[in-house]
Chains A and B, each alone.
Chain A
Amino acid sequence: MSAGQRRLDIEQIGEVTVAKFVDKKILDENNIQMIGNQLFGLVEEDGRKKIVLDFTAVEYLSSAALGKLITMDKKVKSAGGKLRLCSIRPDIYEVFAITRLNKLFDICDDQDAALQGF
């Protein structure tokens, strides 16, 4: 994996930016760092304020990845924006539920639901 490789597929739907994770596994430290930088860039460099993170491809993630998502959520909120997560498979949802992060994040079943009323 090269250093500058895109870890997110970005699509603009109206006012909302949908960022789809490319990786099946969000585990490796370098990978998580790159994903974090690309996520933060959406807010800090591009000034995007309505962001949906689509987890369709994601089969595994670690606590370090959860940390990046929490930081992302803070950045979006402090920029006056909103972040939603969607299409999280049941195994991964359990990780959010165990850590109670399902209460912190706005989690929707799928992309359509996430785009509703955003």
Chain B
Amino acid sequence: MADAFEFKVTIPSDTAEGHSVQERILSSLEEVGFPDKDLFGVKLALEEGIVNAIKHGNGMDPSKNVFVECDYNGSRVRVIIEDEGSGFDPGDVPDPTDDTNIDKPSGRGLMLMRAFMSLVEYNDKGNRVVLEKVRSEE
């Protein structure tokens, strides 16, 4: 398909670099006419996923990298974000909407990714996440 694209990039643990990758993915999706309402969710999920990898995964360690793969096949975009940290168990993240957690200032990133993307899947180690968004019908 003419609209399809894919690329891979490796970035250091630096949020400015993370934002450049986000911009690249989002501008590529804009070029192929990805709907605005879907872009909002993809942007949010990328922000959470990349920041998680840099901050929580790699602990901002400048010697560690984040690997990002993006591919779009004309109907869905898939972004894989992998860090060099020891991973985490998504099942251990408490429900931020629980009454006991509602006023805690952290723990909402994963929930937002799940709400806005079609698929959010971690590997067993918990240092690699696959994010997919199926393009909405217009």
Contacts and interface: CB of A to CB of B under 8 A. Distances in A.
User: Looking at chain A's contact residues, is the secondary structure mostly helix, strand, loop, or mixed?
Assistant: helix
Contacts of B125: none
A103 B112 CA distance: 17
A98 B102 contact: no
B115 A70 contact: no
Contact of B47 (A62, A66, A98, A99): A62
Interface residues of A, number: 22
B109 A60 contact: no
A73 B104 CA distance: 11
B44 A104 contact: no
Interface of B: 15-16, 19, 37, 40, 43-44, 47-48, 51, 55, 96-97, 102-109, 111-112, 115
Interface of A: 27-29, 60, 62-64, 66-68, 70-71, 73-74, 91, 95, 98-101, 103-104
